[in-house]
Amino acid sequence: MKFLNDVNPSYDLTYNDTFMVPSRSAIASRTSVDLTTPDGIGTSIPLVVSNMTAVAGRRMAETVARRGGIAILPQDISREAVDDMVGQVKRAHTVFETPITVQTTDSVSTALSLLGKRSHGAAVVLNGHEPVGIVSLADCQEVDRFARISEVMSENIITASVDEDPRSVFDTIAERHLSMVPMLDDGRLAGVLTRKGILRSTIYSPAVDPQGRLMVGGAVGINGDVRAKTASLLESGVDVLVVDTAHGHQEKMIEALPHVTAARDEFADRTGRRLQVVAGNVVAADGVTDLVSAGADILKVGVGPGAMCTTRMMTGVGRPQFSAVLECAQAAHESGAEVWADGGVKYPRDVALALAAGAASVMIGSWFAGTHESAGDLVVDPHGRSYKESFGMASARAVQNRTKKQSAFDRARSGLFEEGISHSRMYLDPARPGVEDLVDSIISGVRSSFTYAGAESIAQFRERAVVGVQSSAGYEEGRPRETSW
Is 309 annotated among the ligand-binding residues? yes
- Indicate the pairing of strand 241-244 with strand 217-220: parallel
CA angle 292-293-298, nearest 5°?
10
DSSP secondary structure string, 38-49?
A: TTSS--SSSEEE
Residue 303 marked as a ligand binder: yes
User: Is 302 marked as binding a ligand?
Assistant: yes
431 is in an annotated binding site: no
Does residue 238 contact residue 229 with C-beta atoms inside 8 Å? Answer: no
Active site residue 309: yes
Handedness of CA 452, 458, 464, 466 (dihedral sign): positive
* 304 carries a ligand binding annotation: yes
**Gap between the Cα atoms of 136 and 40, Å rounded:** 41
Other Cβ atoms less than 10 A from the Cβ of 243: the count is: 27
Cis amide prior to 8 (ω within 30 degrees): no
**306 among the known binding-site residues?**
yes
Residue 10 burial (CB < 10 Å; 0-12/13-18/19+)? exposed
**Residue of 309, 326, 339, 359 with catalytic role:** 309
Distances (CA, A) of 388 to 3, 14, 55, 375, 402: 39, 27, 9, 9, 21
Chain-centre distance for alpha carbon 208: 15
Neighbours of 350 (CB within 10 A): 24
Annotated binding site for K(+): 304, 306, 309
Annotated binding site: 244-246, 302-304, 306, 309
Catalytic positions, written as ranges: 309
Annotated binding site for NADP(+): 244-246, 302-304
Annotated binding site for NAD(+): 244-246, 302-304
